[in-house]
């Protein structure tokens, strides 16, 4: 069990680093890996807690500016949609949830590969739609950051403002799904509960490292690697959930 905690801590550092640099990926990477070793609901619950703290780090390290209007438009609709998605997850059989996650990851990977050629116009309607769609997918599958990134990118924010704003939106969405998962019976086994004392500092370390290299890493290359990883994980879950 000690080794499992250390492996998850290492995964958290990598996922937090990638997620902070690209604007998405922390929850995507962790969820895609942990569902192979933990019950789906426990994996979603654990990742949501770690990701919540990751949102805090983003807002702390990149606090040069927040677009509060966008936080309200994306975050409030995302909060409600995340609750609805999490409620769906609580009522789905484990094998169906894993296959559904696999199918979603495949579609998600394709989306990541083509979204650089796709643009949405900046408007309040787009912000509301982006918040709703990304919030719902985060609630049901624990994965929604790339969808939020696509819609948020339409507003052409400076990079540090973008990261901080994305973190504030994610904080609202993650708060909603954590409460919903917990109310629905989600719990962490004792070792993983104590493991949070390691996972949370690990997420901080990843975000701190990202702060140093955020302007040096080409996001397109990161997105390509993530897309290939998600495609492989999705195919495995669809073919053989466990």
Contacts for 158 with CB less than 8 Å, ≥ 6 apart: 64, 65
More confident residue, 214 or 190: 190
Q: What is the DSSP string of 24-65?
A: --HHHHHHHHHTTTS-HHHHHHHHHHHHHHHHHHHHHHTTT-
| DSSP 8-state class, residue 187 | -
Q: How many helices (H) and strands (E) does the chain have?
A: 10, 0
Return the structure tokens found at 169: 């939106």
d(CA 189, CA 74): 33
Percent of the chain with pLDDT over 70: 86
Percent of the chain with pLDDT over 90: 22
H/E stretch holding 182: helix 159-183
* pLDDT higher than threshold 70 for residue 202: yes
Rg of the chain, C-alpha, whole Å: 16
Average pLDDT, rounded, for the chain: 82
pLDDT in tens, 119-150: 677 888 888 988 998 899 889 888 877 778 77
d(CA 214, CA 113): 21
According to the model, what pLDDT value does residue 217 have? 59
Provide the pLDDT confidence category of residue 28 given band limits of 50, 70 and 90: confident
Q: Is 24 in contact with 228 (CB distance < 8 Å)?
A: no
Provide the pLDDT confidence category of residue 178 given band limits of 50, 70 and 90: very high
According to the model, what pLDDT value does residue 223 have? 64
pLDDT in tens, 34-63: 988 888 899 999 999 998 988 888 788 776
pLDDT in tens, 49-103: 998 988 888 788 776 667 888 889 998 999 999 999 999 888 888 778 888 888 8
Q: Is 152 in contact with 70 (CB distance < 8 Å)?
A: yes
Closest of 142, 154, 120 to residue 230, by C-alpha:
142
d(CA 117, CA 201): 36
What is the phi-psi region of residue 24: left when phi exceeds 0, alpha when psi lies from -120 to 50, beta otherwise?
Answer: beta
* pLDDT higher than threshold 80 for residue 15: yes
Please give the biggest Cα pair distance in the chain: 49
């Amino acid at each position: 069990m000690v080794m499992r905690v250390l492996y998850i801590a290492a995964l958290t550092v990598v996922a937090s680093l990638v997620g902070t640099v690209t604007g998405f990926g922390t929850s995507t990477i962790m969820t895609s890996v942990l569902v192979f070793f933990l019950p789906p609901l426990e994996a979603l619950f654990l990742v949501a807690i770690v990701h919540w703290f990751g949102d805090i780090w983003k807002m702390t390290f990149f606090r040069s500016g927040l677009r509060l209007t966008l936080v309200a438009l994306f975050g409030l609709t995302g909060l409600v949609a995340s609750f609805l998605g999490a409620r769906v997850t609580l009522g789905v059989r484990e094998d169906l949830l894993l296959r559904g996650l696999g199918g979603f990851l495949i579609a998600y990977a394709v989306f990541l590969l083509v979204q650089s050629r796709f643009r949405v116009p900046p408007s309040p309607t787009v912000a509301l739609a982006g918040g709703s769609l990304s919030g719902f997918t985060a609630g049901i599958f624990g994965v929604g950051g790339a969808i939020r990134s696509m819609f948020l990118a339409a507003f052409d924010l400076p990079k540090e403002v973008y990261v901080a704003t994305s973190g504030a939106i994610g904080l609202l969405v993650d708060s909603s799904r954590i409460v919903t998962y917990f109310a629905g019976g989600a719990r962490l086994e004792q070792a993983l509960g104590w493991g949070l004392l390691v996972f949370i500092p690990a997420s901080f370390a990843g975000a701190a490292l990202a702060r140093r290299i955020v302007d040096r890493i080409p996001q397109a290359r990161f997105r390509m690697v993530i897309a290939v990883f998600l495609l492989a994980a999705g195919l495995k879950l669809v073919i053989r959930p466990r």
